Amino acid sequence: MDIFAKCYEPSLAGELKEKGVYPYFHALQSRQDVEVMMEGKRRIMLGSNNYLGLTTDPEVVEAGIRALEQYGTGCSGSRFLNGTLQMHLELEEELGRFLRKPGIVTFGTGFQSNVGIISALVGRHDYVICDRENHASIYAGCQLSYGKMLRYRHSDMAELEKCLQKVPETAGALIVTDGVFSMGGDIARLPEICALAKKYGARVMVDDAHGLGVLGQGGRGTASYFGLEDQVDIYMGTFSKSLASLGGYMAASEEVADFVRHASRPFIFSASIPPANCATALAALRHLEQHPELPERLRELSLYARKGMTDRGLKIRESALTAPTPIIPIYTYETYHTLEVAREIYDRGVYVNPTLPPATPEGEALLRRQLEELLGDTGTAENVRIDAVEQGSWLLVTLRAECLEEIGREVPLTKE
């Protein structure tokens, strides 16, 4: 049998293209910003992870240019061998100070970080325990590890406890959870997770891809939000969201970091973060440190938007109703309907991310809106107004920030 046979079979992607609702790979002709040029038209970007708007910050951009000029385009090797720049060490040191964890390991991407951390730490006789809604890269890490994976229903602490009870006393256990869930925008129940970990002698790792720069003191993330920094053993994070670059990291004790540095195949056998990305991540981190008001304003804006939507009857996941995170999912449930709505919104000049199974449970497709701090323009939530009339009817998005003035759209939301 030809291994390529599957490539020639009719596919969902082909079907969506035929129906004119294929939502992927829209090309940008501008910077990643609150307003972008996409496929030749100005559009409002409500689907970006550029939470603090730093991809266009002049100092961050300048840092990237300087690094490119000074160090060239790439490191041509792994951190382990020829690919360590002094700047990588500076980035790790400053990040460690910011996060208050001394052991930092940086990876090429956030995805690679999860794969590299989990596969290194979870050995043949160990267990890794995951929330079902964890990010795909966490699952990839579990698959690459030699250990056993157990999963619990999303944020279901009773199920988590049952998983922990299955772990033999002689085995190690690592509980891994998103801090802010990337689809639902809700926050992990870290106090309960940490209490259970303590009870059963397990370790806790939090994927803070969407927590860094958003939650906690000065944007230090989900553990800081709960005051649980000393009970979360490992933070994983990415430079590709709030820090406006590319790359990822692990933050832990020095001993755990040093073990991962010498055991992680995705770390050892892959090239290091290129100079420009390292410099922009470092500049963005410094900017965040100097501007603790940015995450604060983002949270304020997020709560304002949530309230505006729920006041008007739009369905947001219950556990995410009061979460001050910029990921706001609007349930549209049925896959084709979600795509039709996304297409219509797109045609009217607003980009949102349609999120479909298997990224969501079957029948729970959604439109994932992600807010950026800059959406508030002057930084105040009053500049953004989101009106949505009855669920089942129409969604009216009005963004009153100056640069977004022309938006005032009516879009059918749920299937009638």
Options 35-43, 162-170, 207-215, 385-393: segment touching ligand PLP (CB under 6 A): 207-215
- Is there a catalytic annotation at residue 182? yes
Q: Kindly tell me which residue out of 79, 88, 101, 135 binds ligand PLP, with binding defined by CB under 6 A.
A: 135
- Is there a catalytic annotation at residue 125? no
Give the position of tokens 């969506």.
16
Catalytic-labelled residue, pool 88, 101, 154, 210: 210
Reading across the β-sheet that carries 203-207, which strands appear in turn?
103-107, 248-252, 234-238, 203-207, 173-178, 127-131, 148-152
Q: Kindly tell me which residue out of 21, 47, 53, 111 binds ligand PLP, with binding defined by CB under 6 A.
A: 111
Options 147-155, 203-211, 346-354, 392-400: segment touching ligand PLP (CB under 6 A): 203-211
Nearest approach in angstroms of CB 179 to ligand PLP is 8
DSSP secondary structure string for all residues of 205-257: EEE-TTTTTTSSGGG--HHHHHT-TTT--EEEEESSSTT-SS-EEEEE-HHHH
Distance CA 409, CA 394 (A): 10
The DSSP symbol for 6 reads H
Asked if 240 interacts with ligand PLP (CB under 6 A), we say: yes
Nearest approach in angstroms of CB 18 to ligand PLP is 28
Asked if 137 interacts with ligand PLP (CB under 6 A), we say: yes
How many residues make contact with ligand PLP (CB under 6 A)? 14
Distance CA 9, CA 92 (A): 47
- Is there a catalytic annotation at residue 337? no
Nearest approach in angstroms of CB 265 to ligand PLP is 17
Distance CA 136, CA 148 (A): 17
The CA-CA-CA angle for residues 22, 26, 32, to 5°, reads: 145
Nearest approach in angstroms of CB 247 to ligand PLP is 7
Asked if 110 interacts with ligand PLP (CB under 6 A), we say: yes
Please, which of residues 152-181 interact with ligand PLP by CB under 6 A? 178
Q: Kindly tell me which residue out of 48, 50, 55, 109 binds ligand PLP, with binding defined by CB under 6 A.
A: 109
Is the Cβ–Cβ distance between 114 and 140 less than 8 Å?
yes
Nearest Cα to 400, choosing from 308, 292, 313? 308
Catalytic positions are 182, 210, 241
Q: Give the footprint of ligand PLP on this chain (CB under 6 A).
A: 109-111, 114, 135, 137, 178, 182, 207, 209-210, 238, 240, 248
